[in-house]
């Protein structure tokens, strides 16, 4: 339910408040908004009268925001940004339906992205929007139809469709060391790059090769793409998933630092809210994943 209109100021008044707070003066705000100084002042006065709270402290011919005014201006900026994003989404999609996906950045770029073309050709009436989310979130508070999740089927309140099992390989720049690929034991003492969301990945890699390793340290990254770039720059050795490593091998930027791929625990899933039926765009996407074979573990 929308609040009573008496609590909903005009967009022009809110634009004036936001500009004054951000730029510091009504004169600068007037210049940015292509208004006169008096027009901005009137908008601010109307806003104060409607809210019933003093938003500004007048000092001679100048003014500055009160604590209440500054806090309100920050909230207004969030509202204006949300309004702009919603308007852009409608403008971009036109008459088409939207499918809003939260994706893991590397997986979205290197695995999902190349496959989306066939879905879009099959369903030109659906516009697929993607935003990055690294950690699970509450679907009720975020405007997403589905998300990509890595790990186990433990996203609370969500359905899970397995997409891909994880395989990792140790990679480095072609000139990182002589005699590549190295024996697994030769990686001890080399600079190893780590991913925040995969603690213990290197220990698991060494264990898979019959070697004990503990408390391995090195540079830490929050995304595969950043870690891959560090490896390209010769900073260290990275563990990358197959879908990303293959791309870098094809480009000649990275090579295998040691033996081939190893299977690790964890699966990439498409997840969507369990409560309520899937909307038409999501239903079409789920059907396409199942029929195309893209939604099968190990595909």
pLDDT in tens, 23-75: 888 888 889 989 898 898 888 888 888 888 888 887 776 778 888 888 888 88
CA separation for the pair 151, 215 (Å, rounded): 22
Q: Is the pLDDT of residue 1 over 60?
A: no
Nearest Cα residue to 240 out of 218, 222, 261, 220: 261
Task: For domain 95-299, say whether CATH 3.40.190.290 is its number.
Answer: yes
Instruction: Give the architecture-level CATH label for domain 5-93.
Output: Orthogonal Bundle (1.10)
Count Cβ atoms below 10 Å from residue 272 Cβ, excluding itself.
22
3-state class of 275 per DSSP? coil
pLDDT at 292: 76
The answer, as to whether pTM is greater than 0.75, is no
pLDDT in tens, 199-246: 899 999 999 999 998 878 899 999 999 999 999 999 999 999 999 999
In the chain, where do the E strands start and end? 56-59, 62-65, 97-103, 126-132, 146-151, 158-172, 194-195, 220-221, 238-241, 255-256, 262-273
Domains of the chain by residue range: 5-93, 95-299
CA separation for the pair 197, 224 (Å, rounded): 10
């Amino acid at each position: 339910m929308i609040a009573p209109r008496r609590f909903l100021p005009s967009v022009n008044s809110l634009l004036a408040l936001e500009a004054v707070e951000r730029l510091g003066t009504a004169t600068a705000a007037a210049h940015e908004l292509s208004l006169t100084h008096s027009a901005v002042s009137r908008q601010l006065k109307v806003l104060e009268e409607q809210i019933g709270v003093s938003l500004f402290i007048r000092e001679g011919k100048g003014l500055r925001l009160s604590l209440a005014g500054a806090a309100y201006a920050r909230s207004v900026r969030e509202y204006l940004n949300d309004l702009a994003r919603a308007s852009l989404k409608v403008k971009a999609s036109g008459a088409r339906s939207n499918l809003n996906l939260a994706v893991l950045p590397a997986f979205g770029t290197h695995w999902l992205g190349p496959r989306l073309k066939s879905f879009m050709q099959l369903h030109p009436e659906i516009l697929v929007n993607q935003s990055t989310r690294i950690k699970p979130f509450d679907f009720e508070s975020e405007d997403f139809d589905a998300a990509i999740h890595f790990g186990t089927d433990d996203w609370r309140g969500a359905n899970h469709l397995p997409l891909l099992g994880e395989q990792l390989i140790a990679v480095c720049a072609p000139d990182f060391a002589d005699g590549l690929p190295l024996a697994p034991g030769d990686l001890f003492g080399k600079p190893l790059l780590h991913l925040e969301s995969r603690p213990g990945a290197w220990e698991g890699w060494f264990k898979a090769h019959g070697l004990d390793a503990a408390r391995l340290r090195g540079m830490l990254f929050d995304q595969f793409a950043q870690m891959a770039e560090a490896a390209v720059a010769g900073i260290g050795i990275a563990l990358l998933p197959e879908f990303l490593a293959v791309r870098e091998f094809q480009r000649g930027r990275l090579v295998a630092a040691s033996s081939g791929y190893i299977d690790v625990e964890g699966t990439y899933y498409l997840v969507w809210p369990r409560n309520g039926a899937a909307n038409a765009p999501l239903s079409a996407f789920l059907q396409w994943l199942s029929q195309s074979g893209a939604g099968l573990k190990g595909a």
